[in-house]
Structure 1
Amino acid sequence: MNNEEVDRIRSVYARWEPTYDCSNAGYLRSLGERDDRLRGLLSRLPHNLTRCRVLDVGCGYGSLLNLFHEQGVPADGLFGIDLLLNRIQVARKRYPSFTLKEGNAEQIDFPDKRFDVVTVFTVFSSILDRGMAENVALSIARVLASGGTIIWYDMRYPNPWNRNVRPITKRRIRELFPSFELQLESLTLLPPLARHLGPATNCIYPLLVKVPVLRSHYLGLLRSAA
């Protein structure tokens, strides 16, 4: 376990949260696009959502888990883990029936093969230390049931304005999860561009995001061997 890297990540997010405008039109359009596409992915899962156990690694304030709840996953099948205690505290107040824990995903505090689905959204791009990233990947694989699915969303391009993140390419995903089949698509208009569309967001965003090179993230499924 890399305590220095854990401390760095906590510090970065503590500085970042007060300055990030979550009401920005481009940001909201990107979020809506991602969640709409995610709902479509859920229909392709080989799991019955009403009997599914889902773990969200880096669950933040719990909104992604709530999306699963809205799609039919019962509250007692929803679990989350996050490094930041303040996020877990807020999430517990919002969603008291979910199981939410503060913790380092290098050592996920759940039994082996516990979950049918593990969601990993913008987690690995925040980890600069390769050893820690590999530990997190091993920990996720350990708690995923045989035939389980990882739902992935993360940035595929570097951000020259933010040295605290790194791109996660398909090659890197394969290194982290070598026994998994990747089913990924590019998504999300480059955030620096999307956030400057202003009042024209709803008109211009759909046009720009059709250009593959302008899509900054991958969304999709990582399927384990049965």
Structure 2
Amino acid sequence: PDNLYVASIYLLRLGRSGQVKKEEAQQLAQQILKKPVSCYSGLRPLLQFYRKYLSHNEAIDLADEALKRHPNVRYLKKQLANSYRWKIFSKEDSPRRQSMCDRAISLYTDVISLYPETSLKVKLELASIYAESYIDRTELANQIYENLLSSEQDPYELQMLYFHYATYKNFHIQDRNASIDYHKKAAEIPNPNKYGKMSFNILRKIEQWGRNRRCAEILEFLENLSSHNE
């Protein structure tokens, strides 16, 4: 298709069936790089294709090339930071892991400092990179979460925040009780989005495993929640 955004979406869908050659993706990338930057340029879905069907490194290289051509564009900084984040969370062994964390942190920090209205999601992504860094940056992650917890009021956003904070408390701080508390906070917000539902399902699994001393409490909570939603 002539529309590069549509072409990227189409390529991403074709990738699931293995019908796309690497050269086709690279050709589309060159076309996108020559066009003015916008969220509908096709870069974002193409980066998804690169991550899923080529490699994280090639996705990073593509995002980096786009940013080199337009070094002051916030959207491209976010795309490159996100590409690093996916590589870091892939758990692929890499001697460059810490340098990638540092680069991602620098990009995220730059975006947030220049644009204070940056979305909650971007701030949570920065907190997640702090938590993954080999250099102990727990205090910086904690600070982000504390600031967000004291200021966020939108129910939809709160579910996302509580879910991510619960995950952080569980995997990085090993505070299982706090993790359960925040999953409960996410799950009990009316009209749950995917984050509230994921928290509900995690609580259900904890209760079903039967290994946590709070299983009875969790079961009662889930039953009460289910009865209110009927």
User: Where on the TM-score scale, by shorter chain, does this alignment land: which range?
Assistant: under 0.3
Bigger Rg, which one: 2
In terms of fraction of residues, the more strand-rich structure is 1
In terms of fraction of residues, the more helix-rich structure is 2
